[in-house]
Amino acid sequence: MVERVAVKMAWASAIGTGETLESCVEQAAAGVRRQLGTEPVDLVVAFVSSGFRNLYERVPRLVKEAVPCAHLVGCSGGGIIGGGEEVEVRPAVSLMAARLPGVTVHPFHMRNEEMPDLDDGPQKWESAVGVAAASEPHFILLVDPFSFSTDDFLMGLDFAFPRAAKVGGLASDAREPGGNGLFLEDRCWRGGAVGLALWGNITVETVVAQGCRPIGGPMVITQCERNLVKELDHRRPLDVLSDLIPSLDERDRALLRTSLFLGVGMDARKTEYAHGDFLIRNVLALDRQSGMLAVGAMLRTGQIAQFHLRDAEASAHDLEVVLEGYRSRGLDAVAALLFSCLGRGEHLYRRANHDSEMFLDKVGPIPLAGFFCNGEIGPVGGTTYVHGYTSCFGLFRPTS
């Protein structure tokens, strides 16, 4: 009698750099084949740098020939992450390959005109992505920012699939519609959104590092209109900031002029707020005559808000805190995808591989791939948002 050996979930990540698309794909493919062997895999996630913009239509065929796979998803990016390495300038291809026993992988593409209305019932959203909520799926989402209403899409998915993890990013570095590439199965799309729904013997957890630290204290938004903050604790935002300045050191005063953000508490049930409880949004304008503040979010009276600052030090500290928080939960992720902002990386830290190296140090030496995005998709306070200046991780492990 021949004893059958159970197949376990296995992932591999590698990156290829070079002058041609073919050489980059083959180098990355050789890396994942060394880790997984030559047998076909269930899934390949591919990220391709914008240096190959005119060749995106060739990517699906080249990748599937190099790493035979049941399903392929991916997109273009202004910087590419693979094998724990971040390549931000040179042409590169990153491949993450996985064998996923007991996991159903369902790919889908959606155009704006195919998206259900926000007042449609959850069944319409289930039908649009081809997945029943009863399957308890999780989602990897890759979006073209020029042609797709990502915020509406995420609202609909949260409504129809409230228990699902949703993580991903907006394809980056194109300057006009049609410049990005979205890869799904045998095709390259130049617009819309592509995604995977995963369910079965797989758990997806998310870690979102927004890269800011708070200043001052939490306040109640006592008067607002759409995205305009008129009063914080019954005072003009300008007056609050003016009183805050003397408590700041010289470095923070300089950051306040260039890197000021507003954190908005998203969980109305909380009475105390701590690190990670705020959705960080840009301060768009501060009117000195009215004292009002314009921010990049729709607001409502009664929400909690707190001012935040961002720089390399704050960003590194925030990432360290959230990764140590994940590690403290004792979870054993076997692979991860990283969706990081174009404004991070060497531009922020003045050196390469910062976020990747910290992740591997804090979580462990597991396969890690991703790209630098034009917006990152991940949850805060149980709701999924498009972020900026953020690193969002999707971490994978078998359920059993």
Residue 116 falls within a domain, yes or no?
A: yes
> How confident is the model over 163-216, as pLDDT tens digits?
999 999 999 988 889 999 999 999 999 999 999 999 999 999 999 999 898 999
Q: Are residues 65 and 199 in the same domain?
A: yes
Q: Are residues 200 and 237 in the same domain?
A: no
Name every residue whose Cβ is closer than 8 Å to that of residue 52 and which is 6 or more positions away in sequence: 21, 24, 59, 76, 91, 93
Q: What are 92's two structure tokens?
A: 């590169």
CB 171 within 8 A of CB 197: no
In this prediction, residue 261 carries a pLDDT of: 93
Q: Are residues 190 and 217 in the same domain?
A: no
Distance, CA of 4 to CA of 55 (rounded, Å): 44
pTM over 0.75: yes
> In total, how many domains does the chain have?
2
In this prediction, residue 1 carries a pLDDT of: 39
In this prediction, residue 83 carries a pLDDT of: 93
Q: Are residues 165 and 236 in the same domain?
A: no
In this prediction, residue 290 carries a pLDDT of: 93
Note the Cα 220 to chain centre separation in Å. Answer: 29
pLDDT for residue 3 is more than 50 = no
Q: For the chain, give the mean pLDDT.
A: 93
Where is the domain boundary, 262, 289, 309? 309
Q: At which residue do the structure tokens 């890690």 appear?
A: 368
Residue 1 falls within a domain, yes or no?
A: no
In this prediction, residue 6 carries a pLDDT of: 57
Q: Are residues 183 and 54 in the same domain?
A: yes
Task: Give the lowest-confidence range in 10-24, 271-285, 355-369.
Answer: 271-285
Nearest to 92 by CA among 28, 44, 142, 36: 28
Distance, CA of 88 to CA of 342 (rounded, Å): 9
Residue 62 falls within a domain, yes or no?
A: yes
- pLDDT > 70: percent of the chain: 96
In this prediction, residue 5 carries a pLDDT of: 45
Q: Are residues 33 and 159 in the same domain?
A: yes
Residues 104-111: what's their mean pLDDT? Answer: 98
Q: Are residues 234 and 175 in the same domain?
A: no
In this prediction, residue 175 carries a pLDDT of: 86
Residue 111 falls within a domain, yes or no?
A: yes
Residue 5 falls within a domain, yes or no?
A: no
> How confident is the model over 269-323, as pLDDT tens digits?
666 776 677 899 999 999 999 999 999 888 999 999 999 999 899 899 999 999 9
Look at 2 and 307; give whichever has higher pLDDT. 307
Residue 3 falls within a domain, yes or no?
A: no
> How confident is the model over 149-161, as pLDDT tens digits?
999 999 999 999 9
Residue 2 falls within a domain, yes or no?
A: no
CB 228 within 8 A of CB 293: yes
Residues 327-353: what's their mean pLDDT? Answer: 93
Q: Are residues 269 and 377 in the same domain?
A: no
Distance, CA of 308 to CA of 353 (rounded, Å): 25
Residue 64 falls within a domain, yes or no?
A: yes
Residues 326-337: what's their mean pLDDT? Answer: 93
Q: Are residues 72 and 151 in the same domain?
A: yes
Where is the domain boundary, 289, 309, 329? 309
Q: Are residues 304 and 325 in the same domain?
A: no
Residues 27-38: what's their mean pLDDT? Answer: 95
Q: Are residues 151 and 30 in the same domain?
A: yes
- Containing domain of residue 25, as a range? 10-209+317-397
3-state secondary structure the chain: CCCCCCCCCEEEEEEEECCCHHHHHHHHHHHHHHHHCCCCEEEEEEEEEHHHHHHHHHHHHHHHHHCCEEEEEEEEECEEEECCEEECCCCEEEEEEEECCCEEEEEEEECHHHCCCCCCCHHHHHHHHCCCHHHCCEEEEEECCCCCCHHHHHHHHHHHCCCCCEEEEECCCCCCCCCCCEEECCEEECCCEEEEEEEECCEEEEEEECCCEECCCCEEEEEEECCEEEEECCECHHHHHHHHHHHCCHHHHHHHHHCEEEEEECCCCCCCCCCCCEEEEEEEEECCCCCCEEECCCCCCCCEEEEEECCHHHHHHHHHHHHHHHHHCCCCCCEEEEEEECCCHHHHHCCCCHHHHHHHHHHCCCCEEEEEECCEEEEECCEEEEECCCEEEEEEECCC
Q: Are residues 156 and 199 in the same domain?
A: yes
Where is the domain boundary, 260, 285, 309? 309
Task: Give the lowest-confidence range in 59-63, 70-74, 84-88, 337-341.
Answer: 84-88
